[in-house]
Amino acid sequence: MARSRMSIRTRLTLIIMGVTLGCLGLGFTLVALRQVDSLRDQRLAAMSVMAETTGDAAVSSLSFKDAADGHDVLARLKTFGDVEAAALYDEKGELFASYKHEGALGAAQWPARLSADAGVERRIDGDAIVQLPIVYENQRYGTIWIASSTDALSKEIDSFLVTLLTIGALLVILSGVFATLLGRRITRPILSLADVARRITKGSDTSLRAPVVPGPGEIATLASGFNAMLAKLEQREQEVVSSRDTIRAVIDSSPVAIIGIQKDGTVGLWSAAATALFSTTEVDAIGKPIAAVAPDPAVMALTRLWARAASEPVGSIEVELTDGLCLAMQAAPLPGGGVVVAVADVTERRRAAEALAERAQQLQRVQKMEVVGRLAGGVAHDFNHLITVVMAAAQMLQWRTAGRGDVRGYVDNIVDAAQRGAALSRRLLAFSRQQAVDAKAVDTRAVL
Amino acid sequence: MGNLCDRLRVLVCVAIVAVAHGAAYAQPTDAEVKAEFVERIIRFVDWDPKSLGDDFVACIVGNSPQTPFLQKIAKVRKLKDRRTQIVLVAPDKLDKLASCHAVVIGDVDKKQFGAVLARTAGRPVLTIADAPGAAAAGAIINFYVEDDHVHYEINVRAAEDSGLVLRAKLLRLARIIGERERRGG
């Protein structure tokens, strides 16, 4: 987790330092091992030269069995302070002459004898030991054995290692500085890109561009790509702004109030019609809870729509406010949550609809009365014909039965009834407007 | 009787072992050492290749105790990378010296010694003597014994006259004769 929190620059610096230190460590270890081996080899090589020279000088001694001279030859080695002991062996391997440095503290002790064909031997085993056959013109004369202290060699190796460690420490410091500088150099363009991105995010100014380092490097490619992306983003934003302005103009020009309610219940969109409808400016409405910007019944309706928007794709509702204002609301869910609600003032439309319904009912009643009138007219007309026949027949009977008291009463009743039927027929015809109404004042109380 | 025989056997065995042991660790005689020195000295002397043939001829004039040892050496070693031929030359028949590359002067009188030197003078012949004052008298190499050790002296003037080249390794252990005179002359 700590690693993931590290910045790219820190990671890069650590990686560069790690790689550098690893390479330095490996290189220095190899150099140290090689140099130590080289110093040991050099020491043995120098001793070999010394042994060859001394052996060559001892050829005469060995050849003519002059042990004293052999001692003298070996004694010359005292000029080399680190030679602790030396010995000459004749061609049979017998000890011929020997030398021990005065005050030599080492435990070097020459072998009592060697084999006649003792070969080359070079080793560092506490002391540096070199053993060489003494050969002159392909003729072997014996063997020389030299032991030397390794104190000087150890000091030389120690000195070398101290120098190496000092150089290593300096290189570590330099590698740290180098890694830091290199890390900065590498990450500067990236951080510059990040800075541009941050400024764009903060200020929404997509006209900003990252500085492009000329050249074919990856950073230049990245910066170019980033700038191309910014150009595209700027174009898109301009398109979005243009589109938004267009939509805004459409929204504001709409007589229907359009209100956007965000997922958290606050107002995100407030059209000019909404301002006019609820007497709340867009500035006062945006960001406020819907309850704070709309009258209570509207709020309840809007809240209901907002709540239903999550489960229903479209919802609509009409609400009548206390002041008689009637609002029709239709909601549609927004992609990111929340709803957009179109609120229309339908008060006038509602009143007009109600008046229209009243008229329709009146018309229906008139039409019904007209039908009834027509029916009554038809019936009255036919009835009138019947009454006319009855009246004619009754009058004829009156003539014929004049003087007959036993049937005159019946005939008179028929005539009277026919006259009342004719009067009823006339009234029905008047109702159906097929006959002029003979309007006259009546005493309603007498009628009732 | 049987007991006596056993004792004799033991004594004989002890005697044999003692003699063998003594032989094995016996110190080499001066003659043997000098013979060996002759071979070594020849190693450190250079002849003109034209003067050397297929064999290296070492002549011994007169009787010399080194003769058997030199013959023994000649059988097993080469001298100057050549087969070694030992030629015994009688003091009165010095003609044989013409083919010699080295001459070991044995028991000869003064006159014969001079004759040998006369025969070899100015020629690439290494003359090796074993008599006091022989080097001063003209022999190139002369043995002498000092502190029970065999040493040699070199008449460098005679060596130069012979045209032989004596290496420093040979000169280093030698007592030099004739150098002062040569340098002075």
A138 min Cα distance to partner chain B (Å): 11
Q: Which of B73, B70, B115 is nearest to B92 (CA)?
A: B115
Which pLDDT score is estimated for B23? 44
Distance CA A405, CA B72 (A): 221
> In the prediction, which pLDDT does A104 show?
64
> How many angstroms away from the CA of A65 is the closest CA of chain B?
9
pLDDT of residue A436: 58
Contact B40 A64 (CB under 8 A): yes
Asked if B104 and B60 count as a contact pair (C-beta separation under 8 A), the reply is yes
Interface test with A, best of B37, B80, B153, B173 (most A CBs within 10 A): B173
- Among residues A286, A284, A296, the alpha carbon closest in space to that of A262 is found at A286
CB contact under 8 A, A63 and B44: yes
Chain A residues in contact with B43 (beta carbon < 8 A): 63, 137, 139
Choosing among A59, A60, A76, which should be mutated to test the B contact, i.e. which has the most B CBs within 10 A? A60
Beta strand A339-345 pairing with A326-333? antiparallel
Q: Which amino acid is at A127?
A: D
Exposure b/e, B6-18, CB count within 10 A at least 16 = b = eeeeeeeeeeeee
Give CA–CA dist B130/B60, Å, rounded. Answer: 12
Decide which of B6 and A401 is more confident.
A401
- The pLDDT assigned to A309 comes to 65
Measured in whole angstroms, the distance separating CA B151 from the mean position of its chain's CA atoms is 12
Amino acid A439: pLDDT: 67
Please report the pLDDT score of residue A58 as a whole number: 93
SS (H, E, C) A163-230: HHHHHHHHHHHHHHHHHHHHHHHHHHHHHHHHHHHHHHHHHCCCCCCCCCCCCCCHHHHHHHHHHHHH
- How far apart CA A149 and CA B89 sit, in angstroms, is 57
Chain A CB contacts of B144 under 8 Å are: none
Q: Sign of dihedral through CA atoms B26, B30, B35, B37?
A: positive
Per the CB < 8 A criterion, the answer to whether A327 and A314 are in contact is no
What is the least distance, in Å, from the CA of A113 to any CA of chain B?
Answer: 17
Rounded to whole angstroms, the Cα distance separating A261 from A271 reads: 12
CB-based contact A327:A318 (threshold 8 Å): yes
What's the length of chain B?
A: 185
**Which pLDDT belongs to residue A299?**
77
User: To the nearest whole percent, how much of chain B has pLDDT over 70?
Assistant: 82
3-state helix, strand, coil in chain B (%, to 5): 50, 25, 25
Q: Quick one: pLDDT at residue A315? A: 67
For chain A, 448 residues long, the average pLDDT of each consecutive 10-residue run is: 66 82 88 89 91 93 91 91 91 92 72 90 89 92 92 88 90 85 79 81 78 73 83 87 87 87 85 86 88 78 71 71 82 79 86 91 90 85 88 88 84 89 84 65 80
Beta-carbon separation of A60 and B169 below 8 A: yes
> Among all chains, which residue has been given the structure tokens 């339908």?
A346
Residues of B in Cβ contact (< 8 Å) with A54: none
| pLDDT over threshold 90, residue B154 | yes
Cite the DSSP H helix spans in A254-295: 272-278, 282-285
d(CA A294, CA A48): 109
> How far B170 CA lies from chain A's nearest CA (Å)?
7
Q: Are B126 and B162 in contact (CB under 8 A)?
A: yes
Cβ of A137 within 8 Å of Cβ of B170? The answer is no
Interval A374-425: pLDDT, tens? 888 888 888 888 888 988 988 888 888 888 888 888 888 888 998 898 888 8
Give A92-109 as a 3 state SS string: CCEEEEEEECCCCCCCCC
Of A313, A318, A384, nearest in space to A345 by CA: A318
Three-class DSSP category at A36? helix
CA gap B119, B43 in Å, rounded: 23
Cβ contact (<8 Å) for A60 and B37? no
pLDDT tens-digit readout, A156-200: 889 988 998 898 889 888 888 888 888 787 777 777 778 888 888
Rg (C-alpha) for chain A, rounded Å, is: 65
What are B32-71's pLDDT values in tens digits?
Answer: 999 999 999 999 999 998 889 889 999 999 999 999 999 9
C-beta atoms of A60 and B33 within 8 A: no
Residue A123 in 3-state DSSP? strand
Number of Cα atoms under 13 Å in the Cβ half of residue A367:
6
A258-270 in b/e form (b: 16+ CB < 10 A) is bbbbbeeebbbbb
Between the alpha carbon of residue A86 and those of residues A143, A422, B64, the distances in Å are 11, 180, 39
Q: Give the lowest-confidence range in A381-385, B142-146, B168-172.
A: A381-385
The model carries a pTM of: 0.55
Tell me if A103 sits within 8 A of A79, measured CB to CB.
Answer: no
Confidence at residue B14, expressed as pLDDT on a 0 to 100 scale: 45
CB-based contact A60 B173, cutoff 8 Å: yes
- Strand stretches in A278-325, DSSP E: 315-320
Secondary structure of residue B38 in the 3-state scheme: helix
Distance from the Cα of A121 to chain B's closest Cα (Å) equals 26
Element containing residue B61 per DSSP (H, E): strand B55-61
Which of B43, B151, B166 best tests the A interface by mutation, with the highest count of A CBs <10 A?
A: B43
Among chain A residues, the shortest Cα distance to B39 is held by A63
A59/B169 CB distance under 8 A: yes
Give Cβ neighbours of residue A411 (< 8 Å, ≥ 6 apart): A394, A397, A398, A401
Q: How far apart are CA A192 and CA A195, in angstroms?
A: 5
Q: Closest residue of A to B78, CA-based?
A: A139
pLDDT of residue B11: 47
Cβ proximity of A58 and A71 under 8 Å = no
Q: Say if A155 is an interface residue toward chain B (CB within 8 Å).
A: no
Q: Does A53 touch chain B (CB under 8 A)?
A: no
Do B149 and A66 count as a contact with CB atoms less than 8 A apart? yes
CA dihedral B169, B170, B173, B178 (to 10 degrees): -130
Which of these, A76, A116, A69, lies nearest to B169 by C-alpha position? Answer: A69
Q: Cβ contacts (< 8 Å) between B40 and chain A: which residues?
A: 63-64
Chain A nearest CA to B37, separation (Å): 6
pLDDT at position A277 is 83
Which chain A residues are within 8 Å of B152, Cβ to Cβ?
A: 64
Chain B residues within 8 A (CB-CB) of chain A?
33, 37, 40, 43-44, 149, 152, 169-170, 172-173
Residue of B nearest to A69 (CA): B173
Q: How many Cβ pairs within 8 Å bridge chains A and B?
A: 24
Q: What is the pLDDT of residues B7-20, one digit of tens each?
A: 545 444 444 444 44
Write out the two tokens for A361.
């009912």
Cβ neighbours of A60 in B, within 8 Å: 44, 169-170, 172-173
Asked if residue B112 lies in contact with residue B61, where contact means CB atoms within 8 angstroms, the answer is yes
